[in-house]
């Protein structure tokens, strides 16, 4: 059997219990006041949202302003660069236009120069051909040592063409150099009057039968033109008459041509 004694009961008076209760209430009240004060300093969710929204709005505004400022600065730089490049381009355009004008002027001058050169060549050729207008080129006349060409031509003109040539009518007569050693050298006969030349040329066939050929004294450029005409597929014949080159087409059309004439155009114009 246990000898342990039960604890003694403590007796508390009612007055002391009330005091303890009041003290606890006071402590609780103080704690509540403290909590209240602390809660005043605490942020609510709504106020936090407002604060954050205001903060981010301010940040966005600042960022936007910074971006605008940077973009404005960059745009100003770009505008300045573009203005400089535009000025350079305008300068290049002006230089290009000036060069184009100069080139066109050069081309125009060159074309005019070519026309002037062609006109000079044609004029020189006409003058040269005119100076030969009373000349006759003679081929096939036998060459003899100590020959007197003037007397020989006078004799042939009398015997073959029944033309009396006086000494004064023969301005000059001489042989030309030739690359053919086995042939008589050509002869140039210059007459004083055209009538004597025309009379001899009309008797060319008679001279030809005797082995002597009479030709117009043609300039080199006119010879080249006549050869081009003879080689043309639409030309039947070509010759020199009265200082100008003439041709007959295979359609029996007569043409008169100068050195730089377009043969095809001349033929086409004649057909129309």
Closest CA to 245 of 229, 256, 237, 253: 256
Q: Where are the domains of the chain?
A: 52-132, 135-217, 218-272
Q: Is the dihedral of CA 226, 227, 230, 234 positive or negative?
A: negative
User: Would you write out the chain's pLDDT as a tens digit for each of its 272 residues?
Assistant: 455 555 555 444 555 666 776 776 777 777 777 776 766 666 566 666 777 788 778 888 888 888 888 888 888 899 999 999 999 999 999 999 999 999 999 999 999 999 999 999 999 999 999 999 999 999 999 999 899 999 999 999 999 989 999 889 999 999 999 888 889 999 999 999 999 999 999 999 999 999 999 999 999 999 999 999 999 999 999 999 888 999 999 999 999 999 999 999 999 988 76
pLDDT for res 51? 75
Closest by Cα among 140, 170, 138 to 154: 170
Cα distances (angstroms) measured from residue 192 to each of 14, 77, 173, 216: 181, 91, 12, 15
The beta strand positions in 20-149, using DSSP E, are 135-139
Q: For the structural domain made of 135-217, what CATH number should be given?
A: 3.30.70.260
């Amino acid at each position: 059997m246990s000898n342990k004694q039960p604890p003694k009961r403590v007796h508390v008076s009612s007055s002391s219990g009330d005091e303890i209760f009041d003290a606890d209430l006071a402590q609780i009240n103080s704690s509540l006041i403290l909590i209240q004060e602390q809660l005043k300093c605490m942020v609510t969710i709504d106020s936090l949202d407002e604060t954050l929204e205001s903060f981010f709005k301010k940040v966005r505004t600042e960022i936007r302003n910074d971006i605008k400022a940077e973009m404005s600065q960059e745009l100003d730089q770009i505008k300045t660069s573009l203005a400089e490049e535009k000025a350079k381009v305008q300068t290049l355009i002006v230089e290009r236009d000036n060069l184009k004008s100069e080139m066109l002027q050069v081309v125009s001058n060159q074309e005019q120069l070519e026309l002037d050169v062609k006109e000079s060549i044609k004029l020189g050729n006409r003058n040269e051909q005119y100076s030969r207008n009373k000349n006759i080129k003679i081929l096939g006349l036998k060459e003899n040592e100590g020959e007197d060409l003037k007397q020989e031509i006078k004799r042939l003109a009398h015997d073959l063409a029944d033309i009396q040539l006086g000494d004064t009518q023969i301005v000059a007569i001489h042989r030309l150099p030739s690359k053919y050693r086995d042939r008589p050298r050509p002869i140039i006969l210059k007459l004083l009057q055209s009538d004597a030349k025309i009379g001899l040329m009309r008797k060319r066939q008679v001279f030809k039968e005797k082995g002597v050929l009479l030709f117009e004294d043609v300039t080199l450029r006119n010879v080249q033109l006549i050869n081009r005409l003879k080689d043309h597929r639409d030309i039947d014949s070509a010759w020199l008459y009265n200082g100008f080159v003439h041709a007959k087409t295979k359609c029996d059309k007569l043409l008169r041509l100068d050195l730089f004439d377009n043969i095809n155009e001349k033929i086409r114009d004649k057909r129309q």
